[in-house]
Structure 1
Amino acid sequence: MIDLALAWPVAAAMTAGGLIGVERTYHGHPAGFRTHILVCMTSCVLMLAAMHQATWSFVGLPGQNLVIDPTRMSHGILTGIGFLCAGVIFREGFSVHGLTTAASLWTTSAIGMMFGVGMLDLALTAAGATLLVLAILRFLDARLPHVGVLDVTLRWSRPDAPCETTLRRLLSDNGLKALRIGHVMSPDGAVHEHHIKARGPVPLNVDGLVKQLAGREGLAGFSVMPRDD
């Protein structure tokens, strides 16, 4: 017979994790529906096990039942979730991606622990607040005035590579400001690459920059990648 006192927190944690995961999956993030369910459910199960140590079959000494501080389990869970979160954060050029997904996994784990220790009100409040931040505030964030960032890679034949002043002027003509300019030279010295991190007011004038780069003499190739975490 299934103990409903143990079953309902697991079911509630799976539901909360699934709702958060749906939002991440819908927007194409690597840790999505199933990952968030597993994180929330596992956190809940481990905390349930820690809270119900009296039912464990382990006996340290005859006639005695050892019970440890259940908060030790939460410390272990948070340590483990840290490694999982690190796996969804990656760097591309000068940009770092996956921070929001890592934060959602961390929050989902905390929600699962709240279900596991029986703090239903706090768990439901946290789940609702997380969905509010990820799903609803996304639309508000899109309408707020803010600065966008993009990574630009330019590949030149070495004699045609312009100086940094020329590059900054090129970006400025399209409403962009160079934050960093990196230089990479091919082993044979024939190709000079510029790796640029630039920013400007949203919406970024990506089309204008691409058209200008497409007609640039001596430019062997380029990439323009707007940053979206």
Structure 2
Amino acid sequence: MDLAAEFRTITPLSEVAFRLAVASLCGMALGIDREIRGKSAGLRTHMLVALSSAGTTLVTLEIFEMLKATGHTDMDPLRIVQGLAQAIGFISAGVIIQARRDVHGLTTAVNIWLCSAVGVAAGAGLHALALIITLFAAAILTGMHFIEKWVFRKGPRD
């Protein structure tokens, strides 16, 4: 058995590691706000969602390229991303709580879903897109919190 062949990927392993690191760091950046506010889905959850989405995207791209090299071109890698979006939607729904005519957890749920999109972008090698999405989301999470708190004089909400 050729051990080197077992670890060979179409995408260089250094690029794989970089993509996974970008996803994890972006997930961390998006999870900081939720962690600071004491929400159930914090740093680790957001980092793992982004990492798992990047990992799923990388696996999909690797399988697609391997099949393409053998002449099988009928696979659509976007179907994997669609399935991932549905799974993340299911996980995000678990964060939403409805009690006494009030709904909590929507921002955290959407943030988890967004982390998945960031992970897909990072896994696909779209580093700039992953970083720009993260910057916009972090600005929205932080900036809108202050606007809601100071301009609209609302209490802490999710």
TM-score normalised over the length of structure 1: 0.59
Contact 2:22 2:127 in 1 (8 A): no
| Higher strand residue share | 1
Gaps of 5+ in 2: 1-6
3-state DSSP class of the match of 2:98?
strand
In structure 1, what is the Cα distance between the partners aligned to 2:150 and 2:28? 27
Distance in 2 between the 1:228 and 1:28 partners? 11
Question: Secondary structure at 1:36's aligned position in 2?
Answer: helix
Aligned to 2:135: 128
State which drifts further: 19-28 or 133-142. Answer: 133-142
Q: Deviations over 1:183-214 (max 9, x none)?
A: xxxxxxxxxxxxxxxxxxx46xxxxxxxxxxx
- SS of equivalent residue, structure 2 residue 40: coil
Aligned to 1:113: 120
**Count of residues paired in the alignment:** 147
Conserved? CA contact 1:14–1:41, under 8 Å? yes
Shift of 1:81: 0.2
Superposed displacement of residue 93, structure 1: 0.6
Match of 2:26 in 1: 16
Deviation at residue 37 of structure 1 after TM alignment: 0.5
Overall identity of the aligned pairs, in %: 32
Indicate the SS of the match to 1:28: coil
Aligned residue type for 2:157: D
Q: Which runs of 5+ in 1 are unaligned?
A: 146-201, 204-225
2:157 maps to: 228
**Relative to total residues, which structure has the larger helix share, 1 or 2?**
2
Greater length-normalized contact order (CA 8 Å, ≥ 6 residues apart)? 2
Deviations along 1:82-134, one digit per CA (max 9) or x if unpaired, are: 11001000111110110000010011100000011111111110010111011
- Give the aligned partner of residue 182 of structure 1: none
State yes or no: 1:30 paired with 2:40: yes
The structure number with the bigger radius of gyration is 1
Residue matched to 1:223: none
Alpha-carbon distance in structure 2 between the residues aligned to 1:143 and 1:116: 38
